[in-house]
Amino acid sequence: MEYAEDDFLNLAGIQHFAFCRRQWALIHIEQQWNENLRTAEGRAMHDNAHDPLFSEKRGGLIVSRGMPVFSRALGVNGVCDVVEFHESPLGVTLSGRDGRWLPVPVEYKRGKPKQSDADRLQLCCQAMCLEEMLLCPEIKKAYLYYGEPAHREAVQLNAVLREKVKSMLCEMHELYRRKYTPRVKPAKSCNACSLKDLCLPKLYRIPSAEKYVKERLEEIK
């Protein structure tokens, strides 16, 4: 099955979906967005990585920034921060370049590596888009660049990660088609959520037991 362009979802949404399905729905279905420090810093880092005019060749490496990608099979489109093309006999030909080149996406993130697969899923989805667009063999490895401390780590794009990308996107398309926003399930991760104030206002208004007792005592004084 192939998705029509009108049905494409934002590729970056897969990291929101992996973090919290409700957060993804609030951003991508309800179009709500609330910027906190983390998202602002993350955006600044992406702005630096995205310079669409920039493409640089260094020996056996071509570096392309802000490269648009899509997949009809997954029904997504988005932009890769950086795609490195490594000279390799397994690679593909590129317009205006001699030789064969293997694409390797590099995604930039502020902060430290996460416990969850959110960043790895986004990266794997980018690689799957590149494979489909460029008709290239499976990209085995890609990289996540983290700001704290500045380093990059290799991610193996194995069958398990690829299946997870596919199943999550199926679920995202289904929720998007139904315009369904999952209900709140407060968790530890809510503290770091950029949509906390939009998502949990009622819970914030529930007074604490201590405050309640204090107020009642004040009343009977």
State which of residues 18, 20, 121, 130 lies at the interface with ligand SF4 (CB under 6 A): 20
Cβ proximity of 194 and 39 under 8 Å: yes
Please identify, using beta-carbon distances, which residue of 160 and 192 lies nearer to ligand SF4: 192
Q: Residue 30 or 153: which CB sits closer to ligand SF4?
A: 30
Q: How far is the CB of 196 from ligand SF4 (least distance, A)?
A: 4
Rounded CA gap, 81 and 210, in Å?
48
Rounded least distance, CB 178 to ligand SF4, Å: 18
Does position 196 interact with ligand SF4 (CB under 6 A)? The reply is yes
- Pull the structure tokens for residue 19: 């973090």
Q: Which stretch binds ligand SF4 (CB under 6 A): 73-81, 142-150, 153-161, 195-203?
A: 195-203
**Cβ-based nearer residue to ligand SF4, 58 or 202:** 202
Q: Does 190 bind ligand SF4 (CB under 6 A)?
A: yes
Minimum distance, C-beta of residue 207 to ligand SF4, in the bound complex (Å): 19
Q: Which residues bind ligand SF4 (CB under 6 A)?
A: 20, 22-23, 26, 184-185, 189-190, 193, 195-196, 199-200
